[in-house]
Structure 1
Amino acid sequence: MERGRRAALGLALAALLAGPWPGARAVEPVTVGLALAGAAASALTGLVSYSRLYCYFAPCCLQGPGARRGAALEEDLDRKLFGQHLVKKVVIKAVAGFLNNPNPKKPLTLSLHGWTGTGKNLVSKIIAENVYEGGLNSKFVHQFVSTLHFPHLQNVTQYKDQLQSWIRGNVSACARSVFIFDEMDKMHAGLIDSIKPFLDYYEELDGVSYRKAIFIFLSNAGAEKITEVALDFWRRGKSREELGLRDLEASVSVSVFNNKNSGFWHSSLIDRNLIDYFVPFLPLEYKHVKMCIRVELESRGYMADEDIVDRVASEMTYFPKEERIYSDKGCKTVYTKLDFYYDL
């Protein structure tokens, strides 16, 4: 049924686009396209509105509520993310709640912290995919990597201007834009403060509202504090799942704020409480590494061979040296280690 409707709409648009359209050459192509789409929508009255019609054939900025996206987000996190009960709880509530709020007071800002391989990039990818079909490849999702996009200390002033212009331009085009900043622990101190006005509680700035945008920061900073708390729980015989956000969030934010090697060092984003959640990623245990291996095998089309799963997990290195509880690379090297066992 849905496929048939799309085919009908496609034929209608094709007919309209075939012309003739007197004077079309004198009009900007984008304007013509919008006019034709509007004409198609009128011709198909009762089937679909203009905005919905347009979104059948081109990527659209998210405008409606995200209830279904919240359910899909939860499902994706359950299937792909392991050992991170705090992350799942915070991300699902924060993102779904924000997308379903037609009039948020400020942009959603999430700061993800933890060791390499614990799932920070995976979670940002899953969020992007659940907001926009193209995920990280969507024109409404923008990713910055500190060492790639902001490498030189002497250019920080220039980077600040460029960053402000980039965010202003993209939010003007799509209020629900998503911005991801990776390697915040390698960003030059003070640079991220240039976007502080966009994260604050302003109705508008120069005619642009930033309240519906999403900002996600990824950082290894704070990982030591997270491990310290998690290890203390383990040594006291407490379950990993007993750890609550209250046990970690405040200490992580303080640790990051006072870390001179972090892009958040003495940042006004933290000082002014503009980051909604500091999301702690716990170090992964042996059992979690095995889960990652099984998922990777299945993604390659293999049945999970438990002998290989055990062998690959055992080859990973773990810390502390005596207890060997946590994987020091998380699941990051699982992919390459499996290449040794399969002729791919």
Structure 2
Amino acid sequence: MKLTNAAAFFIFVPTLTPALDPFSASILTGGAAVAWQLLSPQSWLKCRFLECCNMRDTLNLSVLKMDLDRKVFGQHLAIQIVLRALSANMHSERPRKPLVMSFHGWTGTGKTFVSSIIAENLYQFNIPRRRFVHHFNTVLHFPYLSHVHLYKEQLQNWIRGNVSACPRSLFIFSEMDQMPHGLIDSIMPFLGYHEEIDGIYYGKAIFIFLNNAGGDKVTEIALDYWRSLKRREDIPVKKLQSLLSEEIFRNKNSGFFHSQLIQKNLIDYFIPFLPLEYKHVRECVRQELRVQGHPENEDLIAEIALAMTDYPSEERLYSSKGCKTVESRVTLST
């Protein structure tokens, strides 16, 4: 059996220690153990101090649920679907395909925030995540329509290389409503039901798309329920997901316009982020006051939340910006 350098060194340590005093021998033995841990590909110590891919799927769903419930407001449907999706993917030793989720809703409703909480919980020991969490901003990374063919090749190579290095890679695509048409279809082969592609297994990868497209449809349904004196908690998830799929497929302002990812049913979950009501914005303000180290002034909380609740113009039920500007408003008001 072939030994790594670290393992071989650790094996030969006992032959050296009798000639040393107990203190020196303990230092040598301890040093060998550290060296073995740092060089071993499955080492917990290496994961502690260096960057490595978390191959043991240590996502604690209970902790993730607690984080989402504590930090995200007004998104019971989104949290419910996200937890269910991650649970199914994590409990499978070898998922048949990557987990693909598309988040839809108005700006400021928590799409980016939820994706960042998932990323924070996905890897153990709070190791640096930059090698395993890949965030593509459409405006920043794919700005020129004339370069779409180049972007397709670059995107395929980036995903192929990073999944090869770490099967549990997370890819987040923001501003999908500004994605050049056809570009996202270039990653279609990686999202399907394949055992492997050119020797690379993609089933443990996670893809999250963040999209303002479909947000108006989500708000329209939520508003209809409110006007019918029905609770937003009773909105049927399956109906919303179906409507979102149809909406973004037909919407020219969507990166999924006539996308093969939708035609071939490769997006597993279309996740609605509901518009935020006055009570939800209040909680955002309250949390921001804590973050900035200010006391929870109920009058100030109510004032800021009321000013941000502006849609529709008559009912003023929802915040058209969600909690997007809460931080700056709190800063200016304290």
Determine the structure 1 residue equivalent to 2:31. 15
Q: 8 Å contact 2:109–2:275 — kept in the other structure? A: yes
Following superposition, the deviation at residue 12 of structure 1 comes to 6.7
Q: Is the aligned partner of 1:330 residue 2:329?
A: no
Question: Which residue among 66, 76, 81 is the counterpart of 1:75?
Answer: 66
Q: 1:186 to 1:63 in 2, by over 3 A?
A: same
Question: Which residue among 252, 256, 260 is the counterpart of 2:248?
Answer: 256
Q: 8 Å contact 2:97–2:203 — kept in the other structure? A: yes
State TM-score, norm by structure 1. 0.85
* Structure 1 residues 53-75: Cα deviation after superposition (integer angstroms, max 9, x where no partner): 32232232122244x52111100
Q: Root-mean-square deviation (CA), in Å?
A: 2.1
Question: Which residue among 62, 73, 80 is the counterpart of 1:89?
Answer: 80
Q: 8 Å contact 2:278–2:309 — kept in the other structure? A: no
Q: How many residues align?
A: 307
Q: 1:242 to 1:136 in 2, by over 3 A?
A: farther
Question: Which residue among 221, 245, 255 is the counterpart of 2:237?
Answer: 245
Question: Which residue among 179, 200, 214 is the counterpart of 1:208?
Answer: 200
Distance across 2 between alignment mates of 1:56 and 1:335:
33
For residue 132 of structure 1, what is the amino acid of its counterpart? Answer: Y
Kindly, what percent of the aligned residue pairs are identical?
52
* Structure 1 residues 140-181: Cα deviation after superposition (integer angstroms, max 9, x where no partner): 000000000000000000000000000000000000000000
Q: 1:39 to 1:306 in 2, by over 3 A?
A: closer
Distance across 1 between alignment mates of 2:202 and 2:321:
36
Q: 8 Å contact 1:112–1:218 — kept in the other structure? A: yes
**What SS is found at the alignment partner of 1:324?**
coil
Determine the structure 2 residue equivalent to 1:123. 114
Q: 8 Å contact 1:257–1:265 — kept in the other structure? A: yes
Q: Which structure 2 residues correspond to residues 181-330 of structure 1 after superposition, within 5 A?
A: 181-330=173-322
For residue 184 of structure 2, what is the amino acid of its counterpart? Answer: I
Distance across 1 between alignment mates of 2:275 and 2:281:
10
Q: 8 Å contact 1:69–1:96 — kept in the other structure? A: no
For residue 60 of structure 1, what is the amino acid of its counterpart? Answer: C
Distance across 2 between alignment mates of 1:233 and 1:283:
12
Q: 8 Å contact 1:226–1:280 — kept in the other structure? A: yes
For residue 87 of structure 1, what is the amino acid of its counterpart? Answer: A
Q: 8 Å contact 1:234–1:240 — kept in the other structure? A: yes
Q: 8 Å contact 1:125–1:136 — kept in the other structure? A: no
Distance across 1 between alignment mates of 2:250 and 2:56:
39
Following superposition, the deviation at residue 16 of structure 1 comes to 4.6
Q: 1:58 to 1:280 in 2, by over 3 A?
A: same
Distance across 1 between alignment mates of 2:166 and 2:187:
17
Q: Is the aligned partner of 1:114 residue 2:114?
A: no
Following superposition, the deviation at residue 51 of structure 1 comes to 2.5
Question: After TM superposition, what 4+ stretches of structure 1 lie above 4 angstroms from structure 2?
Answer: 11-14, 38-41, 133-137
Distance across 2 between alignment mates of 1:39 and 1:103:
28
Distance across 2 between alignment mates of 1:136 and 1:289:
32
Q: 8 Å contact 1:146–1:184 — kept in the other structure? A: yes
For residue 37 of structure 1, what is the amino acid of its counterpart? Answer: W
* Structure 1 residues 220-274: Cα deviation after superposition (integer angstroms, max 9, x where no partner): 0001111111111111100111112123110011000001111100101110000
* Structure 1 residues 270-312: Cα deviation after superposition (integer angstroms, max 9, x where no partner): 1000001000000000000001011111112222110110111
Question: Which residue among 149, 158, 170 is the counterpart of 2:150?
Answer: 158
Q: 8 Å contact 1:129–1:135 — kept in the other structure? A: no
Question: Where does the alignment leave 5 or more consecutive residues of structure 2 unmatched?
Answer: 1-26
State TM-score, norm by structure 2. 0.87
**What SS is found at the alignment partner of 1:188?**
coil
Distance across 1 between alignment mates of 2:162 and 2:119:
16
**What SS is found at the alignment partner of 2:173?**
strand
Question: Which residue among 136, 143, 150 is the counterpart of 1:144?
Answer: 136
